Amino acid sequence: AAADDRVPAEVRERHARLCQELDDHSYRYYMGRPIVSDAEYDTLMRELGEIEERHPPLVTQDSPTQKVGAPISVDFSPVEHLERMQSLDNAFSSEEFDAWVHRVEAEAPIDAYLCEPKIDGLAVDLVYENGRLARAATRGDGRVGEDITLNVRTVADVPERLDGSSRPAPELLEVRGEVFLPGEEFEKLNSRLADEGKTPFANPRNGAAGSLRQKDPRVTATRPLHMLVHGVGAHTGVEFTHQSHVYDLLREWGLPVSDRYRVLTTREAVRDYIEYYTEHRHEPAYEIDGVVIKVDDVSLQRRLGSTSRAPRWAIAYKYPPEEVTTRLVDIRVNV
Ligand code: NAD
């Protein structure tokens, strides 16, 4: 409390206000009804981060800077993830990206980065026990998510069994991925909903989240959802040396891995990758809101560790928002 007293009252008030606003926006966002753009949200978050950097006593466990997304709905049973699901820290400019590289390289001898598009979908957690899909959940607050096993089972890209390779599936494997609606499928779904007199989705991310979080899995089954996986959580019976090694094995077991990832050994090559997707943002069939850059070596990932909210060994380079006009909903929305 003594340290807290040294924070000027107006700063404390602004801090409290920002926390409340961000929590409120986050709630609306994860309920599929955001009232501000992602860029506006990110700006408020950044202001909060800057205040906390100047006044460390204001950093508490339940500050939006320290926690991961979403409230969980009573429509689903809560499930505890075997290993925490995290968010990602952001870089919004090449200066911020360079600062991140500088920080990680000061701590660990990084020889390669794995770069991949950042899919703007819904994070899912899949648990495979002896190669069989045992459970699927949303990210929730990172510790506890919603049980959406029956819904996820209707997604064709999600294998029921890990096989198809000479390598036996491990005893236990928690896989992290993103469920999404490809742009074309999103448009088709929206026109179908409009024909049926139902409310269309504001953007593909909402469409994916809304489709996957249906009370009735038969509805989810009619939605053209896809999935790509981009990481693992808890695992026994297998060891991974590199992020790219993780992807090789996941692919061998029949899980869908992006073919757009690259392992790059120089900062210049990473910058070119970022630049490429800045210019070719619409090349993937799914929406991307940036690219993710990860330290490839798993032992260095461990050495760098993570905060309560995000790993230190990865960063999301976020692209500026685009304003688009959807053909079906006659309003301008920011995605
Ligand atoms: P995030 O979307 O910035 O990034 C973290 C997530 O990216 C991970 O959980 C993962 O599921 C996903 N991801 C996609 N592709 C990936 C890949 N290739 N590798 C690793 N992870 C990948 O963070 P978040 O915590 O999910 O959400 C925060 C963001 O959501 C904000 O920055 C903002 O853009 C948006 N948001 C908006 C509002 C609003 O009101 N508009 C409110 C809350 C949050």
CATH number of the domain that 35 lies in? 1.10.287.610
pLDDT confidence bin for 328, thresholds 50/70/90: very low
* DSSP state letter for 195: H
pLDDT digits (tens, 9 = 90+) for 208-228: 999 999 999 999 999 999 999
pLDDT digits (tens, 9 = 90+) for 9-29: 999 999 999 999 999 999 888
Q: Are residues 48 and 89 in the same domain?
A: no
Q: Are residues 49 and 82 in the same domain?
A: no
Task: Answer with the residue of higher pLDDT: 274 or 5.
Answer: 274
CA 148 to chain centre: 17
Our mutation pick for probing the ligand 1 site, out of 31, 38, 42, 277, counting the most ligand atoms within 8 A of Cβ, is 38
Burial class (CB in 10 A: 0-12, 13-18, 19+), 9: exposed
Q: Are residues 187 and 300 in the same domain?
A: yes
Assigned domain for 240 exists: yes
Is 40 annotated to bind ligand?
yes
Assigned domain for 96 exists: yes
Residue 165: the pLDDT is 66
Rounded CA-CA distance 200/189 in Å is: 8
Helical ranges in the chain per DSSP H: 2-5, 9-30, 38-54, 94-107, 149-152, 183-195, 204-212, 217-221, 243-252, 267-279, 298-304
Q: What is the CATH number of the domain that holds 265?
A: 3.30.470.30
Residue 135's nearest CA partner among 125, 120, 121 is 125
* DSSP state letter for 257: B
Cα distances (angstroms) measured from residue 241 to each of 30, 296, 302: 34, 9, 11
User: Residues 109-122: what's their mean pLDDT?
Assistant: 96
Helical ranges in 78-203 per DSSP H: 94-107, 149-152, 183-195
Assigned domain for 101 exists: yes
Range of the domain at 26: 2-58
Residues flanking ligand 1, CB < 6 Å: 25-26, 28-29, 34, 36-38, 41-42, 68-69, 87-88, 116, 118-119, 123, 139, 178, 230-231, 292, 316
Q: 87 alpha carbon to ligand 1 midpoint, in Å?
A: 6
Q: Are residues 45 and 127 in the same domain?
A: no
Is 87 annotated to bind ligand?
yes
Assigned domain for 245 exists: yes
- Which residue's alpha carbon is nearest to atom 11 within ligand 1? 123
- Above 0.85 for ipTM, yes or no? yes
Q: Are residues 13 and 41 in the same domain?
A: yes
Is 105 annotated to bind ligand?
no
Q: Are residues 48 and 189 in the same domain?
A: no
| Torsion angles phi and psi, residue 94, rounded to 5 | -70, -30
**Residue entry with tokens 């992807």:** 247
Q: Are residues 171 and 89 in the same domain?
A: yes
Rounded CA-CA distance 128/135 in Å is: 7
Q: Are residues 49 and 163 in the same domain?
A: no
* Nearest ligand 1 atom, CA 291: 18
- Which residue's alpha carbon is nearest to atom 43 within ligand 1? 26
Assigned domain for 71 exists: no
**From 118, 188, 198, 215, the catalytic residue:** 118
Is 323 annotated to bind ligand?
no
Residue 233's nearest CA partner among 86, 14, 47 is 86
Assigned domain for 36 exists: yes
Our mutation pick for probing the ligand 1 site, out of 41, 67, 143, 274, counting the most ligand atoms within 8 A of Cβ, is 41
Which pair of tokens denotes residue 111? 């020889």
Q: Is 198 a catalytic residue?
A: no
Q: Are residues 20 and 160 in the same domain?
A: no
Which pair of tokens denotes residue 141? 């607050």
pLDDT confidence bin for 331, thresholds 50/70/90: very low
Mean pLDDT (the chain) is: 92
- Which residue's alpha carbon is nearest to atom 34 within ligand 1? 38
pLDDT digits (tens, 9 = 90+) for 76-110: 999 999 999 999 999 999 999 999 999 999 999 99
Q: Are residues 177 and 208 in the same domain?
A: yes
Q: Are residues 120 and 21 in the same domain?
A: no
Rounded CA-CA distance 257/82 in Å is: 22
pLDDT digits (tens, 9 = 90+) for 126-183: 999 999 999 999 999 999 999 999 999 999 999 999 986 678 899 999 999 999 999 9
Residue 325: the pLDDT is 43
CB 236 within 8 A of CB 172: yes
Q: Are residues 26 and 133 in the same domain?
A: no
Residue 84's nearest CA partner among 71, 67, 97, 101 is 67
Q: 23 alpha carbon to ligand 1 midpoint, in Å?
A: 15
**Residue entry with tokens 């000061």:** 106
Contacts of 69 (CB under 8 A, 6+ apart): 26, 30, 87, 139, 140, 141, 142
Q: How many domains does the chain have?
A: 2
How crowded is the C-beta side of 216, counted as CA atoms within 13 Å?
3
Assigned domain for 213 exists: yes
Assigned domain for 67 exists: no
- Which residue's alpha carbon is nearest to atom 5 within ligand 1? 87
Q: How far apart are the first and last CA of the chain?
A: 41
